């Protein structure tokens, strides 16, 4: 499942794909509208804060599976992450904050810088 969300300077994809009966891949991708460069952003601090609310956020260091920008996790947890991501990506104040952070990260060369046709 891929949900596309239109931002101001970036478009976003929330991806939750089934691997097998138990596990899913989950990631949030940012796509620069001008350059079409993309990066998975689950591990960006602001995004992490939103996704890992409560118990998991408090014990983030105990969860190495969240260090990467793409996560493999149990299906129900991946679906919960996808819902949370969709909710914060439609909040205009959060989008302003996030897009500014993405500009900063890109400017510092901290993006994966994957260029794909049409940003996909």
Asked if residue 97 belongs to a domain, the reply is yes
- Most confident range, picked from 7-16, 36-45, 74-83, 100-109: 7-16
Radius of gyration of the chain (CA): 14
Q: What is the mean pLDDT of residues 57-86?
A: 77
Asked if residue 120 belongs to a domain, the reply is no
Asked if residue 119 belongs to a domain, the reply is no
Question: For 7-11, 42-46, 94-98, which range has the lowest pLDDT when averaged over its residues?
Answer: 42-46
pTM over 0.85: no
Local structure of 1: helix, strand or coil: coil
Domain of residue 70, residue span? 2-114
Reply yes or no on whether the pLDDT at 28 is more than 90.
yes
**What is the rounded end-to-end Cα distance, in angstroms, of the chain?**
14
Asked if residue 65 belongs to a domain, the reply is yes
Q: How many domains does the chain contain in total? A: 1
Considering only residues 110 and 117, tell me which one the structure prediction assigns the higher pLDDT: 110
Reply yes or no on whether the pLDDT at 112 is more than 70.
no
DSSP secondary structure code for residue 61 in this structure = G
């Amino acid at each position: 499942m891929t949900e596309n969300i239109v931002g101001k300077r970036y478009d976003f994809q929330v991806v939750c794909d089934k691997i097998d009966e138990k596990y899913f891949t989950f990631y949030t991708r940012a796509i620069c509208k001008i350059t079409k460069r993309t990066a998975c952003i689950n591990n960006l601090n602001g995004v992490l804060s939103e996704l890992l609310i409560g118990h998991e956020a408090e014990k983030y260091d105990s969860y190495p599976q969240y260090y990467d920008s793409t996560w493999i996790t149990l299906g129900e947890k991946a679906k919960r992450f996808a819902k949370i991501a969709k909710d914060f990506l439609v909040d205009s104040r959060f989008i302003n904050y996030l897009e500014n952070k993405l500009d900063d990260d890109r400017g510092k060369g901290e993006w994966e810088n994957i260029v794909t046709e049409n940003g996909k």
